[in-house]
Structure 1
Amino acid sequence: MNDELKTRKGFWRGPVQHAIELTAEERHIDMFGHVNNAWYIAWAMDCAWAHSDALGLDYAAYERIGVGCVVRHHEYTYYASALAGDQVAVGTWIARNDGRMRMIRAIEMRRMSDGQLLVAGETEFVAISIKSGKPARMPAEYAHLYAPPDDLGS
């Protein structure tokens, strides 16, 4: 399902490297009758972790290496609302990675039934030492595996 979803022609604006599909449930709905904005951020992080896991960089790998990537900043634009029962596709790709401490992960969310863009944005991650919580140099393994799509052939 993931490969078919991430390569769907004309569906995504960006070069999606990983995608998940989920259903908006009643628990996601707020008093305005649509998915609350906090859920979109949670879904973005679910997709980010699923991508990292697929790359072999799950939390156990972070612990083994001693360095993890944590959120520094989110910047999202909300275009339309998802409603209870909507199937939502969440796609992600690495937009930039300086290979030292910082990477930017792009996110796009679309309603499956009509392809409507719901949310698009970016999250900035920084590398930290798991022991100290202080900034740390990104391991070469991270720089390689968390490469933007344009860099994957190099």
Structure 2
Amino acid sequence: MAAASLPWRYPSPFTKLWQIDASHLDHYNHVNNVAYLSQAEALAWSHSNSLGLQFSDYQSLNRAMVIKRHELDYHLPSHEGDSLQCATWIISCDNRLTLKRQFQFICERRKKTVFEALTTFVCVSLDTGAPKRLPEPFKEVYGNACIEPSL
């Protein structure tokens, strides 16, 4: 199924397909909450990499985007054999210290959102962990990718 035909919250998502297998399930035979969070983390890194930022860039700039807050919404259970289209967008970037990512996972079979998350990231120094301003490459890459929806 084409990701473009799904009911996305915002246009032009960065997407990856996630095939649910037994390793993703909890004791209820639903996708485990932690599996959704792990998938969101992997999706964020894939998106950053596709935008041109690698972890080696973080290291050379002595900066990292670390999570300050997660808001997680589990709408419907997912099961073994489901195919989820997983999307992310950068929805705000203040070009100083923070950015926010929206995530939305849609079950292809049901064409319904099963999971959403909003994550706030803060830029910090890798060596001290102290908050530091976004370096120019972060401003350029993340700022240009920001969709800044009207809320």
**TM-score, normalisation: structure 1:** 0.89
The ranges of structure 1 where at least 4 consecutive aligned residues each deviate by more than 6 angstroms after the TM superposition are none
* Counterpart residue number, 1:133: 129
CA distance in 2, matches of 1:150, 1:35: 31
The one-letter code sitting in structure 1 at the alignment partner of 2:44 is A
Equivalent pairs, count: 147
Taking only the aligned residue pairs, the percentage that are identical comes to 28
Q: Does 1:55 align with 2:55?
A: no
CA contact (8 A) 1:90 1:107 kept: yes
Residue among 18, 21, 31 paired with 1:22: 18
Structure 1: unaligned runs, 5 residues or longer: none
* Counterpart residue number, 1:100: 96
CA contact (8 A) 2:6 2:111 kept: no
Residue among 106, 109, 115 paired with 1:110: 106
Q: Does 1:82 align with 2:78?
A: yes
Trace 1:9-48 onto structure 2 (pairs within 5 A). 9-48=5-44
The one-letter code sitting in structure 1 at the alignment partner of 2:110 is D
CA distance in 2, matches of 1:133, 1:56: 23
User: Deviation of residue 117 (structure 1)?
Assistant: 0.4
Structure 2: unaligned runs, 5 residues or longer: none
